[in-house]
Structure 1
């Protein structure tokens, strides 16, 4: 009765809730891939992944052409077995973004179904380490915003109880970045956290120069300073600065995370459940980081990562970027800068099926 009888895949396009840009790109739209897994006994779970403007139809094609048929008849309870089978069946394209995003949507659906069958929320089923975690805000720190807007947004976040803000860096001159960060620091005071994110835009030498300028500002972390595949560069940079180096949103394999953590290249792990292939590998990454005494502050996916970060003892922060407001109906409680994971069974996202139908493109 727990065998998979049907799998449905959908693609919906969501407009960003605010204009989003960084040193490398603009957030054009959110292509959201939804997968619903149904079992013989009438239960179902829904998972999702995303892209920020390109590749959504390729993810759907990977699901349709290579993954869905292999799920039919499998026991939905055997989540690890199914994940390993998907890896084996996609060796030619693993590790890669499209494959990871497709596998993630399936894996999240299976965990959602697993939680519903156990009548437990995923955050508790996967460990239950925290019943809430602090938020930091990214929505007020995009690179196109003026210095005055950055300050105003940071003060608003502080007034709401949020513990910190992320400011995008990568302006043409170090001076301009430094002035923007100094203005925010002067406004919020020394105890409020400021994170900076370069979105992979710097060379090794320039990243070291900028990191040095951040040290006096008490920056919480320097995120994606270099191209994500430059392990050696991250090792050198981490050794050269007192600012913690944060990486992970652009890594697509649990083994790659292990290399970074073991080499001392990551002081903060920002594993993204969609990009690493789902909840199953996300938990492997989080526990690997735990064994090296490295905290986890996952990238994006606030509505899912609230549950996952609360599941593990080294969960540090949840990133405040609302993602699913157009196709869901709440489920999370945010109080004075803290987010609580949903108590409803599964991943706890209450999908708005009518809205999904209206926004579906494939």
Structure 2
């Protein structure tokens, strides 16, 4: 399984209407895909995120020359070398090599990992709530209504990007529309201090449909998280930007969160990501993956959830939901996979088991010009 060819597919979509969260507005969506092909013709796809200029230069000058001629089965050594140069590229390469090995064995990715424990995985509709519209609350409500009509039963909405009063007015309107029939998570993107976060609890105490409060504080404030967890009446979640399993340990050892949210795009490879998921089981807590940035990374998160043991023997049929980007983004649908009634069936074919929309990839291929 010697690597013979590496093709890159940088893609860009300029948003006609910016949207965002507490970190600011997004004016574009980008995606960097690549295909690794062996001498025998077996293909595997990888995905990563960064500035497209940085990725394209890095691939052509270093990554591609390094990969050519290597054995795809030497995945661990290859990934460990590449992560010294670019951690996110290493994760993408680990995806591609995983698929090649699975295809060569005539297996699905899940079968390669020992077999899936469940056939479908729940997903939640993930929103970027803010826009530069004066009626941004009504715009947000319209988007939420669309997702509910599409069958989603779990949602995540942003807070922390407006004043506390504005955000609470927004969420009160959301809850009025949901009528407590749809489960709701709130994501503050680490924008609060502990005292501000606690001001939400008077509302949380009234709402039985809350999933969690996500990253209300900077994630390095472990002691504050522990105290906040003891104060709030809903679960606390976080960890999307942590890279290694060891970085989750302080949160887990000190009982600072109820749910961890690793993101495979930010992990040190597929194996490191799955190691973090297993760590949540060792500590007996939930893990609901963050996967906002790419269709392939989300698919691997779904595979990993399908193979993950239940978090509690008291609820052994349940599995935590995976994030599903419902904002305007053509790359969300670049794989032939979509949710039905808030769940996604796990593909059964060899490798990743789904087809790529090559026409869409050609349509949005980045032309190399500046985009910011």
Shorter-chain TM-score category? 0.7 to 0.9
Q: Quickly say closer, same or farther: Cα 1:63–1:338, change in 2 above 3 A.
A: same
Which residue of structure 1 lines up, in the alignment, with residue 367 of structure 2? 361
Once residues 187 and 16 of structure 1 are traced to their aligned partners in structure 2, the CA distance between those partners, rounded to angstroms, is 27
Q: 1:283 maps to what in 2?
A: 274
Structure with the bigger percentage of strand:
2
Give the deviation of 1:333 after TM superposition. 4.6
**1:21 Cα deviation after fit:** 0.8
CA distance in 2, matches of 1:324, 1:176: 27
Distance 1:157 1:260 in 2: 33
Q: How far 1:257 moved relative to its partner?
A: 2.3
* Correspondences of 1:28-67 after superposition (within 5 Å): 28-51=27-50, 55-67=51-63
C-alpha separation between the residues in 2 aligned to 1:354 and 1:343?
Answer: 24
TM-score, length basis structure 2:
0.82
Decide whether aligned partners of structure 1 residues 59 and 245 sit closer, same or farther in structure 2, where only a CA change above 3 A counts. farther
Which residue is 2:219 aligned to?
228
- The equivalent of 1:119 in structure 2 is 106
Q: 1:265 to 1:82 in 2, by over 3 A?
A: farther
How large is the RMSD of aligned CA atoms in angstroms? Answer: 2.8
Q: Residue 260 of structure 2 contacts residue 286 of structure 2 at CA under 8 Å; is this kept in 1?
A: yes
Q: Is the 8 A contact 2:183 2:211 kept in 1?
A: yes
Change over 3 Å in CA distance of 1:351–1:18 after alignment to 2 = farther
CA distance in 1 between counterparts of 2:31 and 2:148 reads 31
Evaluate the alpha carbon distance shift between residue 327 and residue 270 of structure 1 in structure 2; reply closer, same or farther with a 3 A threshold. closer
Identify the match of residue 320 of structure 2 among 316, 321, 325: 316
Give, in whole Å, the separation in 2 of the partners of 1:235 and 1:66: 43
Give 1:27's aligned residue: 26
2:352 is equivalent to residue 347 of structure 1: yes
Query: How many residues align structurally?
Result: 348
Structure 1's unaligned 5+ residue stretches are 94-98
User: Does structure 1 residue 104 correspond to structure 2 residue 109?
Assistant: no
1:202–1:10: structure 2 CA closer, same or farther, 3 Å change rule?
A: same
Q: Are the structure 2 counterparts of residues 28 and 150 from structure 1 closer, same or farther at C-alpha, using a change threshold of 3 Å?
A: closer
Inter-CA distance 238–68: structure 2 relative to 1 (3 Å threshold): farther
What secondary structure does 1:26 align onto? Answer: strand
2:189 pairs with 186, 199, 205, which one? 199
Do the aligned partners of 1:286 and 1:312 also contact (CA within 8 Å) in 2? Answer: yes
Structure 1 counterpart SS, 2:177: helix
| Contact 1:134-1:162 at 8 Å conserved across structures | no
Q: CA deviation at 1:17?
A: 9.2
> Quick one: distance in 2 between partners of 1:121 and 1:76?
17
Secondary structure at the aligned position of 2:185 is classed as: strand
Task: Write the distance in 1 (CA, Å) between the matches of 2:250 and 2:38.
Answer: 38
CA contact (8 A) 1:212 1:241 kept: no
Shift of residue 132 of structure 1?
0.7
Inter-partner Cα distance in structure 2 for 1:200 and 1:333: 30
Instruction: Give the corresponding residue for 1:96.
Output: none
Aligned-partner Cα distance in 1 for 2:3–2:205: 53
Q: For residues 54-96 of structure 1, what are the alpha-carbon distances to aligned partners after superposition, in whole Å with 9 as ceiling and x for unaligned?
A: x232233444444443333332123333323334xx1xx6xxx
